[in-house]
């Protein structure tokens, strides 16, 4: 530990000196000041220590790990991934972001990296879990799931699910007319037995569209969310001469108390009460359509924390299912809705909104056992089990990668200044004397106390005009030097990241959802500071200061100017669909990566730049073409002819680039004058 006097002498510029030369003896640890994370505390650091620090194996297994190079490794086939098939995430990022002149794709950050192989593996694991539970229980029917497209409506995600799920009769769930159109189109290429579940509020147009889907030989089920919808279905089905398949959503008494349980229970937003179910059955019976009622749907809530709660809800729903059979409905399917959770922090906790205390196999086993017990006891044929798992299917398939472009802390370079002798002889000399005595006595707690008192008094004198700015900065520097010398470390830094929280991680702002965020490289180095993340938006809420394991800051490395990349994991569900355009920041660039037998174990199958400045302006009803023409005219009005042409060309390029920060090299390349053949501005939207 260096002596404070050495630190002070080295920091003091000419013309500044301290009133006394103080030197601190070797510090001893005291409990109320956390030791900094520095290489002085341990000798060797390894990737395995980083994996433990960030609990990568806890939340990332079996898809993410830390490799020997200290980078995040992607295991696209889960536990079946062979060692030579592992993909270095940093290599993907470099391939995507490097300029085209050196073989890269020239994409800007932020960047979403999609792994369709992970998506395929998630579907296979879910199907396998239910297949094993059905075989183990001797269950009398089968499982076939549906994917709720609201979780992520990206074309390629939905198309992949239909393709990968075709062998399992995997279908889709829609909650609006656009989602229904999307699902109908995709399922035309899917398994003909795959279910198309129509949920959400419905008008005559929605119901007519669902009936048309039935006419197109899609296995469509119109689920009643409100009692009034049954009248529309009866009327329109007779008018169009299309016999519907009807389901109904029941409001269960069972619910969980966490944040995601608000949509369940008797006061839930959707579903029918017991009395409403009986009235619907009676209406269908009077219309001669009771045989159309074939599916029961319910939803306990997202992120169901335990299998005990799950089994309780499924058991209650199974009783309703059996009652509908008794009342004469032609029941075939019990749809347990969503709720299959994922473990965002790796804690395997049943008492957390960001964790779950079960595996896929335990989840499937609890469902199958609960349904079988009730139906066997009531002598009812075991129904087809359907689930609407979205979060558990798509969360792992993408990683959001973004760059830290700088840091700031309370020090702000103040340690380069010190006190002038006349200043130390003034009102603050007594504070400085107390600090010196505490230092010589080894009383580090009093050292910290006196530095804070010194700073407070100096601030008051600055407000009164008796202390100058240089002296105020010098006191800040002294306080920081003292903190470091006694082992208290520097305060949490703010890392500025090339990202909009509101666009790319809206749940972190809206519901304080916590995602695992870690550096994707340099994990063979020990992180030396702690930081929070601050985005590009002009909004104080544009930050992330809540992390897994209840941490309010994140262990990070120094930004050394060579590119420091962070990854947000398990965010493949909802974040893209919910993202907004705050400050007119659009979505990220996207690459799709498949595992291959090439030298780097991956192949980029698709690369799409994020929305340009022109694209996001159009969202708000602006007209980029006219805006450009206005600015171009202004340039020719106020700038010389030759320079105006170059200026106009630069403006056109700005409209075509993403709103996020651009590396200097890319900016210089984009700012070069265009050739004669490129003079005409081309707009593509």
List active site positions.
Answer: 538
Q: Could you say which DSSP state residue 250 is in? A: B
Cα–Cα dist 91/600, whole Å: 8
The tokens for 294 are 């074939």
Is omega for the bond preceding 62 within 30 degrees of 0, making it cis? yes
**How far is the C-alpha of 484 from the C-alpha of 2, rounded, in Å?**
9
| 243 contacts 233 by C-beta, under 8 angstroms | no
Beta pairing class for 333-335 and 384-386? parallel
Q: Which residues contact 627 (CB under 8 A, 6 or more apart)?
A: 617, 655
Count Cβ atoms below 10 Å from residue 285 Cβ, excluding itself. Answer: 15
Contacts of 392 (CB under 8 A, 6+ apart): 122, 126, 340, 341, 342, 360
Q: Report the DSSP pairing between strands 219-224 and 195-198.
A: parallel
Helices (H), 511-603: 575-578
Distances, alpha carbon 659 to alpha carbons 501, 504, 607, in Å: 14, 13, 18
For 535-550, the DSSP string reads: -SSSSTT-EE---GGG
Helix, strand, coil proportions of the chain in percent (round to 5)? 45, 15, 40
Cα 229 from Cα 241, distance rounded (Å): 18
Q: Which residues contact 520 (CB under 8 A, 6 or more apart)?
A: 71, 72, 89, 90, 93, 399, 401, 565, 566, 567
The three-class DSSP label of residue 138 is coil
Evaluate whether 454 touches 479 at the Cβ level (below 8 Å).
yes
Q: Give me 505's structure tokens.
A: 């991680």
HSE-CB at 303 with a 13 A cutoff on CA atoms is 21
Containing 452, the helix (H) or strand (E) segment is: helix 444-464
Q: How many CA atoms lie within 13 A of 104 on its CB side?
A: 16
Token reading at 521 = 């490289």
End-to-end CA distance of the chain: 60
Measure the CA–CA gap between 2 and 592, rounded to whole angstroms. Answer: 50
- In the DSSP assignment, the letter for residue 220 is E
d(CA 322, CA 331) in angstroms, rounded, equals 9
Residue 14, class by beta-carbon neighbours within 10 Å (0-12 exposed, 13-18 middle, 19+ buried)? exposed
Q: Are 42 and 526 in contact (CB under 8 A)?
A: yes
Verify cis geometry, omega within 30 degrees of 0, for the bond prior to 311.
no
Closest CA to 499 of 538, 534, 541: 534
506-540 core/surface letters (b: 16 or more CB in 10 A; e: else): bbbbeeebbbbbbbbbbbbbbbbbbbbbbbbbeee
């Amino acid at each position: 530990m260096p002596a404070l006097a050495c630190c002070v002498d080295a920091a003091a510029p000419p013309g500044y000196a301290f009133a006394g030369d103080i030197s601190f003896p070797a510090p001893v640890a005291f409990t109320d000041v956390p030791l900094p994370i520095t290489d002085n505390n341990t000798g060797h650091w390894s990737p395995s220590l980083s994996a433990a620090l960030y609990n990568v194996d806890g939340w990332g297994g079996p898809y993410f790990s830390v490799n020997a190079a200290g980078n995040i490794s992607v295991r696209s086939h889960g536990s079946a991934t062979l060692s030579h098939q592992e993909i270095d995430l940093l290599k993907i990022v470099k391939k995507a972001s490097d300029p085209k002149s050196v073989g890269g794709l020239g994409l800007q950050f932020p960047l979403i990296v999609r792994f369709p192989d992970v998506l395929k593996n998630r579907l296979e694991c879910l199907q396998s879990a239910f297949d094993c539970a059905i075989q183990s229980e001797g269950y009398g029917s089968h499982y076939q799931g549906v994917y709720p497209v609201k979780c992520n409506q990206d074309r390629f995600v939905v198309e992949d699910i239909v393709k990968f799920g075709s062998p399992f009769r995997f279908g889709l769930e829609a909650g609006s007319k656009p989602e229904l159109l999307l699902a109908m189109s995709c399922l035309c290429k899917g398994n003909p037995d795959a279910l198309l579940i129509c949920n959400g509020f419905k008008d005559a147009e929605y119901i007519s569209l669902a009936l048309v889907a039935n006419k197109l030989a899609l296995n469509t089920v119109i689920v009643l969310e409100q009692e009034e919808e049954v009248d529309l279905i009866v009327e329109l089905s007779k008018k169009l001469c299309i016999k519907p398949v009807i389901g109904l959503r029941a409001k269960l008494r069972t619910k969980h108390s966490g944040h995601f349980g608000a949509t369940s229970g008797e006061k839930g937003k959707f579903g029918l009460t017991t009395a409403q179910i009986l009235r619907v059955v009676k209406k269908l019976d009077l219309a001669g359509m009771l045989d159309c009622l074939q599916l029961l749907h319910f939803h306990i809530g997202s992120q169901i924390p335990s299998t005990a709660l799950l089994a309780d809800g499924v058991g209650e729903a199974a009783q309703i299912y059996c009652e509908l059979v008794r009342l004469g409905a032609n029941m075939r399917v019990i749809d347990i809705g969503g709720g299959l959770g994922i473990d965002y922090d790796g804690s395997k906790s049943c008492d957390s909104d960001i964790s779950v205390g079960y595996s896929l196999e335990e989840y499937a086993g609890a469902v199958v056992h609960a349904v079988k017990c009730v139906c066997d006891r009531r002598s009812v044929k075991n129904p087809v089990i359907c689930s609407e798992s979205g979060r558990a299917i798509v969360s792992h398939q993408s990683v959001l990668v973004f760059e830290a472009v700088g840091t700031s802390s309370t020090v702000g370079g103040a340690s380069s200044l010190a006190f002038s002798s006349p200043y130390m002889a003034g009102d603050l000399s007594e504070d400085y004397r107390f600090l010196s005595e505490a230092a010589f006595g080894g009383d580090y707690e009093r050292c910290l106390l006196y530095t804070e008192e010194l700073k407070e008094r100096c601030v008051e004198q600055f407000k009164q005009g008796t202390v100058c700015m240089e002296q105020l900065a010098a006191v800040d520097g002294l306080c920081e030097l003292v903190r470091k010398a006694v082992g208290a470390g520097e305060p949490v830094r703010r890392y500025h990241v090339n990202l909009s929280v509101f666009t790319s991680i809206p749940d972190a702002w809206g519901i304080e959802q916590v995602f695992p965020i870690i550096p994707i490289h340099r994990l063979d180095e020990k992180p030396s500071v702690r930081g929070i993340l601050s985005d590009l938006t002009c909004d104080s809420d544009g930050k992330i200061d809540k992390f897994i394991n209840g941490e309010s800051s994140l262990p990070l490395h120094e930004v050394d100017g060579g590119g420091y990349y962070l990854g947000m994991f398990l965010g493949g569900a909802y974040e893209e669909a919910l993202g907004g355009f705050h400050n007119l920041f659009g979505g990220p660039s996207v690459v799709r990566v498949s595992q291959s037998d090439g030298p780097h174990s991956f192949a980029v199958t698709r690369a799409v730049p994020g929305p340009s400045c022109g694209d996001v302006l159009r969202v708000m009803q602006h007209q980029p073409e006219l805006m450009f023409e206005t600015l171009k005219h202004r340039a020719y009005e106020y700038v010389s002819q030759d320079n105006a042409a170059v200026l106009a060309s630069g403006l056109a390029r700005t409209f075509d680039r993403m709103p996020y920060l651009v590396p200097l090299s890319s900016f210089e390349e984009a700012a070069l004058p265009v050739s004669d053949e490129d003079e005409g501005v081309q707009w593509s939207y």
